[in-house]
Each structure stands twice: as C-alpha cells, then as structure tokens.
Amino acid sequence: MECMRVCHSIPDGVGVALETPAGLVVHAGDFKFDPTPVDGKLTDYHKFAELGDRGVLVLLSDSTNAMRPGFTPSERTVGQALEEVFRTVRRRIIVACFASHIHRIQQILEVAARMGRKVAIHGKSMIANTRIAADLGHLRIPPDVLVRLDDLRHLSPAETVIIATGSQGEPLSAIARMSAGEHKQIEITPGDTVIFSARVIPGNEQAIARTINQLFRRGAEVITEEFAPVHVSGHPCQEELKLMLNLTRPKFFVPIHGEYRHRHHHARLATAVGIDPAHICLAENGDILEFTPEKRDIVGKVTGGRVFVDGKGVGDVGDAILRERQHLARDGMVVVVVGLHHQTRAIVVGPEIVSRGFVHLQDQEAFFNAANHLVKELLAGCPEEERGDASILKEKIKVALRKFVHKAFDRRPMILPIVTDVWGAEP
C-alpha cells in the first residue's frame, strides 16, 4: 500500500494506492488541487502521475463537487474574506465552523491576532481538536491570542472573537444555544456578528435557517457564504476531477462520494476525457465490485448505511421499531386495560383508559367515558368462544377504538389493548 499527500479541509489528507494481483487500485481520498494551501503542503501531482505511468486498473475518485464547473478556490481566499469582515466589524465576532477544519481555525487565529483581538475556543470537539492539532504541530497559535471563555467578560466586545461549533445548526451546539438564549456564558446582543464559515450539508437546511433566524431576532448580523466568500470547499470541482483522471489514466473508473446525481455527472466528465463508458461503474452503497484486467462487474451486495446507536444497543433497533416511535411521536397513544374473570369471562376490572400525547385535558373525561362504554358494549356482544381468546379480544378492541377515535378526532394514535385474566374474584 502507498499513500499520496492530498489537500483537503483537514491536515495530512492522503489518497491510497493498493497493488493487487489484478492490478493497481487508486483511491484518491477527499482532495482538491489547492495551489496555495495554508500549511504549504501541495497535493502530490507527481505521485499521481507516476501511478498513471505504472498503469492504474481502477480509480475511485471524489464526486462531491462534480456539478460545479472550474476549480475550487484556495483555502487562503477565506482568510482574505475574513480579514475584510474583521476590519469592518466594531463589536464581537463569533465564527462557526467545523471542529475538524484546522486550516480554517488557523486563519481565524491569524486574522484575529493581526486585528488585535483575543480569541476564545468554544465547544468540546473544537477545544479538543485545537489542542491536539497544536500538539502535533498542525496548528500554530499566535502568542497571547487565546483566552478562556470566562475571560471575555473582562474585555470589550470589539476586542473579542469566539470560534464555536454549530455551523450545521446542531441543537446542542454552542451557536444553537446562543441563538435560543440558553447559553450560560454568552448572550447574543445587538451589534454582534456571527459568521457561518461552512457550507450547508444537505438535510440540515431547516436547522441552520432556524438558528440564523433566531440570531437575527436577537439583533446579530449573520454572514454566510451567500454574502461573502467566508467558506470554500475541500473537494475538487470539474476541472480538478478531469486533472485527476488525466494524471492517473485508469482503465476502470468508479465515482464515489456524493449522491447519485453527483456520481452521474462525474461519470460524464470521465467520458469527456476519454474513459470508455463501458468501463465506468456507477455503484450504490453496499455493492461488491469485482475487477479483472479485462472486465468489471457487480457481484453482490452487503448491508450498508446508517447504524442506529440507542443506549447500549448498536444496530439492534430496526425499521419497525423506528416506525413505532415515529407513530408515537406524531399521534400519541391510548392504552385500554380490561380484567376478565378467568371462568365466567365477565368484566372484573375496567375498562380503564389511559392516553399519552393524544387528547387535551378538557376532552379527556368525555373521551374516556365514551371509550369505556364502547369497550363494554363490544365485550358484551362477543360470542362466548371469542371471549376466552385474549388475542381476539385485543384485536377487536383495537379495531373498534381506532374507528371511534378517527371518526371523533380524525387522528390515529397507537392503541394498545391489555386483556388479563383475574383469578379468584367474583364478577
């Protein structure tokens, strides 16, 4: 196995080359061709070209920005944009970015030092990553620029910068708690400027919009990449993807990363630079690929996707349980408890009706009375052979109550009938 240095949003990014009996397989990793990286370490053009000269059987390459023309801007352009913002802002600045983006943190620290501001790092992952990166030499902290969060109250807002987690609107992140007015140490005040130095990850749009709206309500000014170049991607755009294909010149090509539409457009780029369309494999998550010097094929599939961690259980919560939880969260539940005499099958206990998350307090008494009467009538009308089978009675109660609730409230709560035998009691 060989590793090739690549530029990305994190330090020490690498691609991997594997020598196999069938041929050379290259995984380019998360990369971009940044001509002026913050740490001065360029993507290893020469090594990728050398692999191409040796003959690459399969290339797996990042498709995240396959729909974006041109080249991804250098990370250094973000530092220039941040400096412009810092020059014009007269009060406190809060920057939200990924805790793993050490190069972005580096530039914020440097700009703050040049502007005479002190910086507080906030968020567990942000603090941990900053400390580790500094220990490893990936982060060069300017002298006397870092302060503790508690020290900010002794400084003028015009002298301070906070680097915090929460660029994706995570509910428990520092930025989200500030926007909701629930942060114990930091209160957003009119005149504060919050910079979201990150791209919106698909699926997080609503959470981010909610956080930004709340920040505006508290009087803050919010800057995103829509209004200033305060973020650039760590992934290659179309011209860089073509360059990687031309450097490695693979016989077979597998676009990876991104959604199917991104991989589809990446396949088009590969065709444009001369890759045989029959040698391009648009695989799905879990597909097992097999390559020989002459052909490629999808030979099987393994389970892939997200693994749900719930308490001490890992992956033991299936789709059925998740659907039940969604049902409970959306519609609530109604529990019906009935005790029947073990011999006569007459009602001895209940019916007792309990609801959670379903009906308002002012409606409870009328609903409980009506449901109680419905269950009593249902049990009284059941044939004798059915009254001895608890499973039949449960199903009848569930069906009857479901119809009643839907007609009365136009809702579909989860209904859980409990039918028990009572011994020794007189009906």
Mind telling me the catalytic residues? 62, 235
Question: Helical H runs in 219-304?
Answer: 238-248, 260-272
Nearby residues of 332 by Cβ (< 8 Å), 6 or more positions away: 355, 356, 357, 358, 359, 411, 413, 414
Phi, psi of 286 (to 5 degrees): 95, -15
Yes or no: say if 23 and 58 are a contact pair by the CB < 8 Å rule: yes
Name the residue with tokens 């992934």: 235
The first and second tokens of residue 159, run together, are: 């002298």
| Number of residues written out for the chain | 427
Three-state SS at 298: strand
The first and second tokens of residue 409, run together, are: 């409230």
Other CB atoms within 10 A of residue 399 CB: 13
Helix or strand (DSSP H, E) at 384: helix 384-387
* Residue 338 to residue 375: CA distance in whole angstroms: 9
The first and second tokens of residue 160, run together, are: 């301070």
Task: Point out which residues pair with 58 in neighbouring strands.
Answer: 25, 252
Instruction: Output b/e per residue, 159-177; b: 16+ Cβ within 10 A.
Output: bbbbbbbbbbbbeebbbbb
The first and second tokens of residue 38, run together, are: 């913050």
How far CA 312 is from CA of 172, 336, 392, in Å, comes to 21, 31, 36
Rg for the chain, CA atoms, rounded: 31
Phi, psi of 164 (to 5 degrees): -135, 160
What DSSP state is assigned to residue 228? S
* Residue 109 to residue 121: CA distance in whole angstroms: 10
In the chain, what is the straight-line distance between the N-terminal and C-terminal CA atoms, in Å? 79
